């Protein structure tokens, strides 16, 4: 009978050991996923900090398409871009505080889009709002750029 019990019922130590191994495997899997996510984010930041290579003409066509689609849907504003706060020299602090000169904190693609708005869209009456779009764990997250044409 003792042999049958040993084969059927593991000891408490064996259960604890198996639980610990399963937890270690779970943590290792989460660590692997986090490393992949970190690498993807780094690649995205690297791409967004470099010049986009989009011509002014192509950017104008894209802007026109976005605006026309939004207007046909009855909107008076549209979010045109969202960026990780790491693309801003102060991680979005000046934008959040609406400090004069906040645009000096822009780098990479956000800076390109701001300059495009300033040169081509602002003179046509469009406004641009930059704001913290989300607050993960109570900290500033992504920053959104919204184009508006309402008063």
- Count how many domains the chain has: 2
Residues 76 and 139 in one domain: yes
Tell me the whole-structure pTM to 2 decimals: 0.72
Q: Give 88-144 pLDDT, tens digit per residue.
A: 999 899 999 999 999 999 999 999 999 999 999 999 999 999 999 999 988 888 999
* pLDDT tens digit sequence for 62-73: 999 999 999 999
Phi first, then psi: give them for residue 11, nearest 5 degrees.
Answer: -80, 165
Main-chain phi, psi angles of 74, to 5 degrees: 80, 15
Judge whether 148 and 77 are in contact, CB under 8 Å: yes
- Domain of 20? 2-49
Same domain, 43 and 61: no
140 and 83 in a common domain: yes
65 shares its domain with 83: yes
Residues 106 and 67 in one domain: yes
Both 65 and 139 in one domain: the answer is yes
**90 and 116 both lie in a single domain:** yes
- Per-residue confidence (pLDDT) for residue 20, from 0 to 100: 93
Closest-CA residue to 146 (of 49, 132, 28): 132
- Residue carrying the six token digits 């989300």: 134
């Amino acid at each position: 009978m003792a042999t049958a019990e040993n084969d059927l019922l593991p000891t408490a130590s064996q259960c604890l050991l198996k639980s610990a191994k399963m937890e270690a495997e779970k943590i290792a899997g989460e660590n692997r996923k986090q490393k992949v996510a970190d690498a993807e984010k780094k690649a995205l930041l690297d791409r967004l900090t470099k010049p986009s290579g989009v011509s002014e003409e192509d950017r104008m066509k894209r802007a026109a398409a976005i605006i026309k689609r939004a207007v046909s849907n009855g909107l008076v504003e549209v979010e045109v871009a969202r960026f990780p706060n790491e693309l801003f020299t102060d991680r979005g602090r000046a934008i959040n505080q609406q400090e004069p000169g906040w645009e000096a904190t822009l780098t990479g693609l956000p800076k390109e889009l701001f300059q495009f708005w300033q040169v081509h869209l602002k003179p046509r009456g469009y406004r641009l709002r930059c704001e913290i779009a989300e607050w993960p764990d109570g900290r500033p997250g992504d920053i959104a750029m919204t184009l508006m044409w309402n008063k």
